[in-house]
Structure 1
Amino acid sequence: MRLTSLLLSATTAVVVVAAGRDVGHAGKLHKAFAEARKKTTVREPVMDQILDRRASAPLFLNANTSKFAVNGTGIPDVNFDVGESYAGSLPISSDPNEESNLFWWFFPSTNPDAKKEILIWLNGGPGCSSFEGLLQENGPFLWQYGTFKPVHNPWSWNTLTNVVWVEQPVGTGFSTGKVTATSEEDVAKQFMGFWRNFMDTFSMQGYKVYIAGESYAGLYCPYIASAFLNAEDTTYYNMSGLLIYDPSITLDVVSESIPILAFTEYWGGLYPFNDTFRATIQARDAKCGYSAWMNKYLVYPPSGPQPLPFPGSDENGIPLEECVNIYWDIFDAISLINPCFDLYQVATTCPLLWDVLGFPGSFSYMPEGSSVYFDRADVKAAIHAPNITWEECTSKNVFVNGTDSSLPSHIKALPHVIDKTQNVQIVHGALDMILLANGTLLGIQNMTWGGKLGFQTKPNWPFYVPYNDFTTHSNLAAAGVFGSMVTERGLTYVSVDLSGHMVPQYAPSAAYRQLEFLLGRVDCMNCTTPFTVDKGAPQSSQPLGLGTAPQAWSEAGGGKNCSRKRSAPGRKLRK
């Protein structure tokens, strides 16, 4: 529960915590502060009303949907009502003999602003289940790493809009059939067949459709969204906005190898290498030309298109092993220093927490006596799932021969969606090493949309997360200035402080604000407008200052040359 009397200037992220947290071990001053906090007046939590709100009658129950209905009080290990939901399989085409299906779980929203709209959530991989997002990011109940049992999620996206979590492509999670996809174009075509069947089942013709996802969904989402737009059919494919987290939008060498040295030097305290190793990787980086490339091309406005071949490549454009492996040599080195190092959130240290999905970050770890939640027979029965082995990320190929032949999405699919919808967000966690924020920005600065190449101004507007009374000890989240951002020509980029790869998991309040912006519920994210479901919460009255992710501001991507000059004064971002 937040202390509403301590609304500071909020130039850095402020963690929302419950009054009276035990900090006695930290000394007398901390004890005195804890006692003072206990005496502070607080507002009653408002999310209790939202979590308990249920429709007077089911919103989507009919003859077509009844077989998919899930008992909201019958979810194994969940000791509260998750509300109305539906789950099951639907084919990827209208062919009555179609044998391939996608599995999904749909949670309607009782929010009065959610009428005639639906959001699709996709995880990445390729081949990773979107139920990872449902259970540990933005679903109605959460079971996070190392925690005892599922809990309410006050940041569930279905408190804002109707949301369906879809396991795709074929071969992912509970989605069954023959894998035939060779490209993102194939994935999009199959998804469109499924989506038409889903819309008919729930009589959602004409609904606005929003698509969101993360990681490899930086390919899935833009390609599917672009195919929706190309269909020119607003009855089934009324594509209205796109939100992608820590996305794969460019080549791996750009997302990982080129920016990795600058990343480790910016976060030097998390990468405490000895002088010998640091000198070695610096020399290799210089030989490969990576930092020089960053200096030249991670600038605002762009210095020009990034030519091929990329630095550190042979005459055929193939990355040299000594160059591209700087990334993996750094991973090996930090894993010796920090044996619990997590590529998904680089501030993670030991102990290694168990994960009910079987994969806590960089490791697969299940302690004796534990089980994978969605592979349990009682869970499968509750959600009408087929009796097959469920894996968070499939061990089988979801593309024929394991190869996705499509071009990176920043070349064509993503610009198409930006230009057509004028409503696209790319969000990146600052502590993600799976895909680096500066790699994503290099991809953006090499992308043409709205008739121009890249962002013309640095992403140094303050990203503000409203103060609120949503959380308890089981679902803490942050508030205040919590990153940096910029909006130009229909594209918004946001960097989120203290977040790893899965922003809705590590920074759920930040993701909630981004969803409100995507849906058009708020028209700014660098302003102090409260959450739409907590309009009475007091907000900061002090100047917000600049954003707080300077690794993306300097030309080299590091901290030494950071400019703190504001690039744009605007507060209204939808232009």
Structure 2
Amino acid sequence: MKLSLAILAGAIAGLAASASPASNALDYVRNHMPVFEKRTPNQPFRNSELQKRASKYMTDATSQFAVDGTKIPDVAFDIGESYAGLLPISADPDESRKLFFWFFPSTNPLATEEIGIWWVHASAPQSEKKQVCVTVAIVHEKNGPFTWEAGTLDPVQNPYTWVNLTNMVWVEQPVGVGYTQGVPNITNEVELAQEFIGFYKQFATTFALQNYKVYVTGESYAGFYVPYVADAFIGANDTEYYNLAGVAINDPIIGDSTNQQQVVVAPYVHYWENLMYLNDSFLEIMDSRAADCGYTAYLDKYLTFPPPQEAFPVLTDPYSLDNASCDIFDDVFNAEVLANPCFNVYHITDTCPHLWDVLGIVNPGDYSPPDEVVYFNRSDVQAAINAPVGTNWMQCTMKNVFGNGSNNQSLSDQSPGPANDGVLARVIEYTNNTFIGNGNLDFLLNTNGTLLAIQNMTWGGLQGFQASPTSNELFVPYHPEYNGGALSSDGIVGSWGTERGLTFYQVQLAGHELPGYAPGAAYRVVEAMLGRVENIGVPGDFTTQTGNFTGTGTIYKEKSQQLLGYPKGGVFGHAGVGL
């Protein structure tokens, strides 16, 4: 007997209805199939659920700080996994003082239980009011995942980000700068350090960083911050939270500002005489005043290797005198601004025009287009990184963060330089892993000034370097460039030396912000600090990147030929240090 089409259709419909539970089950399985994705090195998974499961840092306690790396305003690429926000400086539930952080976990398998901290601070010339400049401005330093240089159109990915090497956190501190919250109530670096270690314990607890090795780094006035905070880590005697493993600072103020600026400025001007191009009569007056103020004789005696094994005499602060004849530093600055109206104390090769900077004005004369909003002062940026929306963020604030809540500018940091009071020496001896460096194009805190401060410091049983720390070549690997907007020098870029746990280095063509002007050199220093390479002179490629480090390719041969006949750089040709 044949079935009619109607009966057949009804039978099929009935079968379909009876099979619907199975279909639902199949749909469920289909919708919950495992997701497979090959992870790109140093990048998060594209699938958000995979990324959430992959990261040990994404927890119930940290999810409120998670940043969507694909939604940073004006950044056209994924910056990777990160966390940002405010944390208090103590466990007190009523604590109102909070520091802002931006934390980037690394995908480097060697970075499982270690973290680096970066700070920055910069000041205007001494005749100007001091400015406190903050750290979340990682787009300038070229050690964060992306960079946005002054005068450029858009941010670019950064192949030299230190996140390639280790977990990194950028912290805005002390209270009173950037996005930080609360009223400043400190007067010195010891109090600042106690605030920071209070914050760090909250941070480490939140992200489960207990027993992590901690590497503390920074530049400029971080020459104060880093040693004092590192010393507080040591004093806490608690390696569960404060397991200090190494320190690196560049272009730092670590000693007496008279020694680091006034005493050394005349040799600096002569070293770069053809570039700075000040007239002969000014140079003659400068030299005469340097001699009359005792600066020339001071350098002749104390910037030696080894130095006299005695405490250096303290020179009179020229700003404390009614007669400004010994304030040579500011007179040179003022003269140079006449010769080069766009003179940059941080990088002396700069000339006009001033370049527009998305982070806003730092130096007198910096250019900011009318009605242009500073990047980190935009509400969309603030919301994206969990910053308090509506904050009037400035890269450098004139607020007195050391005035115990007062705006009286005379109430400045009461701490002596860490090279002068034993703080830096304790850090060097404890870590046996301290790096101090300078860019030779830095006018504000030049290389000889840093060395003079070091020569006045005793560590490991001796005072100063016993031999000039310029005998070794600082080598940056030859390498393929990943982005034309984030380039770095390579080859021999400077010199270095090490004694008793302290390595000093100089980079000839870098300015004050050394990781920005010579990111490859800074990257190499961090590799050495982390123990990934033996030292900063070893020939070989980066531990995270490969390339033609032997210099045998055509482009490198051509580059080498262009450099033949030019002398290698040194510091400023004084007392056995230099060319």
Q: TM-score range by the shorter chain?
A: 0.7 to 0.9
In the TM superposition, what whole-angstrom CA distance separates every residue of 1:378-398 from its partner, at most 9, and x where no partner exists? Answer: 000101111210011112111
In the TM superposition, what whole-angstrom CA distance separates every residue of 1:244-281 from its partner, at most 9, and x where no partner exists? Answer: 01011011111111000000000011221112111111
Question: Residue 324 of structure 1: CA displacement?
Answer: 3.8
Is 1:404 aligned with 2:413? yes
TM-score (norm 2): 0.84
Is 1:473 aligned with 2:493? no
Change (3 A) 1:196 1:396: same
Q: In structure 2, how many angstroms separate the alpha carbons of the residues matched to 1:157 and 1:145?
A: 21
% identity of equivalent residues: 44
Contact 1:75 1:379 in 2 (8 A): yes
Is 1:464 aligned with 2:467? no
Match of 1:138 among 132, 135, 143: 143
After TM superposition, the runs of 4+ consecutive aligned structure 1 residues lying more than 3 A away are: 48-56, 133-136, 317-324, 360-364, 535-538, 540-549
Q: In structure 2, how many angstroms separate the alpha carbons of the residues matched to 1:326 and 1:379?
A: 42
Equivalent position of 1:14 in the other structure: none
Question: Residue 523 of structure 1: CA displacement?
Answer: 0.8
Is 1:518 aligned with 2:529? yes
In the TM superposition, what whole-angstrom CA distance separates every residue of 1:394-414 from its partner, at most 9, and x where no partner exists? Answer: 121111244111111102111
Equivalent position of 1:5 in the other structure: none
Aligned residue runs from structure 1 range 334-483, under 5 A: 334-359=336-361, 363-386=365-388, 387-400=390-403, 401=406, 402-411=411-420, 412-460=422-470, 461-483=472-494
Letter in 1 for 2:207: F
Q: In structure 2, how many angstroms separate the alpha carbons of the residues matched to 1:139 and 1:364?
A: 24
Question: Residue 124 of structure 1: CA displacement?
Answer: 1.5
Q: In structure 2, how many angstroms separate the alpha carbons of the residues matched to 1:165 and 1:398?
A: 19
Q: In structure 2, how many angstroms separate the alpha carbons of the residues matched to 1:133 and 1:218?
A: 18
- What are the ranges of 5 or more consecutive residues in structure 1 without an aligned counterpart? 1-47, 563-575
Equivalent position of 1:308 in the other structure: 313
Equivalent position of 1:12 in the other structure: none
Letter in 1 for 2:72: I
User: SS in structure 2 opposite 1:177?
Assistant: coil
Equivalent position of 1:84 in the other structure: 81
Higher mean displacement: 69-78 or 133-142: 133-142
Q: In structure 1, how many angstroms separate the alpha carbons of the residues matched to 2:510 and 2:322?
A: 31
In the TM superposition, what whole-angstrom CA distance separates every residue of 1:491-545 from its partner, at most 9, and x where no partner exists? Answer: 0000011111000000000000000011010012122022101245432589999
Corresponding pairs, count: 509
Question: Residue 292 of structure 1: CA displacement?
Answer: 1.6
- What are the ranges of 5 or more consecutive residues in structure 2 without an aligned counterpart? 1-38, 123-130
User: SS in structure 1 opposite 2:396?
Assistant: coil
Equivalent position of 2:250 in the other structure: 245
Question: Residue 53 of structure 1: CA displacement?
Answer: 5.8
Question: Residue 140 of structure 1: CA displacement?
Answer: 0.4
Q: In structure 1, how many angstroms separate the alpha carbons of the residues matched to 2:498 and 2:250?
A: 16
Q: In structure 1, how many angstroms separate the alpha carbons of the residues matched to 2:530 and 2:240?
A: 19
User: SS in structure 1 opposite 2:137?
Assistant: helix
Aligned residue runs from structure 1 range 183-194, under 5 A: 183-194=188-199
Q: In structure 1, how many angstroms separate the alpha carbons of the residues matched to 2:364 and 2:333?
A: 11
Letter in 2 for 1:551: V
Higher mean displacement: 52-61 or 70-79: 52-61
Question: Residue 134 of structure 1: CA displacement?
Answer: 4.6
Aligned residue runs from structure 1 range 49-60, under 5 A: 50=41, 52=43, 54=45, 56=51, 57-60=54-57
Change (3 A) 1:269 1:51: farther
Is 1:69 aligned with 2:66? yes
Letter in 2 for 1:404: D
Contact 2:348 2:442 in 1 (8 A): yes
Higher mean displacement: 231-240 or 274-283: 274-283
Equivalent position of 1:34 in the other structure: none
Contact 1:297 1:304 in 2 (8 A): no
Q: In structure 2, how many angstroms separate the alpha carbons of the residues matched to 1:376 and 1:470?
A: 32
Contact 2:312 2:456 in 1 (8 A): no
Q: In structure 2, how many angstroms separate the alpha carbons of the residues matched to 1:430 and 1:151?
A: 26
Q: In structure 1, how many angstroms separate the alpha carbons of the residues matched to 2:325 and 2:487?
A: 40
Change (3 A) 1:129 1:552: same
Q: In structure 2, how many angstroms separate the alpha carbons of the residues matched to 1:249 and 1:320?
A: 26
Q: In structure 1, how many angstroms separate the alpha carbons of the residues matched to 2:85 and 2:44?
A: 25
Is 1:329 aligned with 2:339? no
Contact 1:463 1:525 in 2 (8 A): yes
Q: In structure 1, how many angstroms separate the alpha carbons of the residues matched to 2:532 and 2:134?
A: 29
Question: Residue 52 of structure 1: CA displacement?
Answer: 4.3
Q: In structure 2, how many angstroms separate the alpha carbons of the residues matched to 1:322 and 1:118?
A: 46
Greater radius of gyration (CA): 2
Equivalent position of 2:542 in the other structure: 531
Match of 2:570 among 550, 556, 570: 550
Contact 2:157 2:483 in 1 (8 A): no
Q: In structure 2, how many angstroms separate the alpha carbons of the residues matched to 1:222 and 1:80?
A: 36
Question: Residue 350 of structure 1: CA displacement?
Answer: 1.1
Higher mean displacement: 331-340 or 125-134: 125-134
Letter in 1 for 2:413: D
Is 1:118 aligned with 2:115? yes
Letter in 1 for 2:414: S
Question: Residue 370 of structure 1: CA displacement?
Answer: 2.4
User: SS in structure 2 opposite 1:442?
Assistant: helix
In the TM superposition, what whole-angstrom CA distance separates every residue of 1:344-384 from its partner, at most 9, and x where no partner exists? Answer: 00111111101111136554321124221000000001011
Q: In structure 1, how many angstroms separate the alpha carbons of the residues matched to 2:449 and 2:177?
A: 27
Is 1:129 aligned with 2:134? yes
Q: In structure 1, how many angstroms separate the alpha carbons of the residues matched to 2:166 and 2:278?
A: 46
Aligned-residue RMSD, C-alpha: 2.4
User: SS in structure 2 opposite 1:551?
Assistant: coil
User: SS in structure 2 opposite 1:77?
Assistant: coil
Contact 1:339 1:350 in 2 (8 A): yes
Q: In structure 1, how many angstroms separate the alpha carbons of the residues matched to 2:567 and 2:452?
A: 19
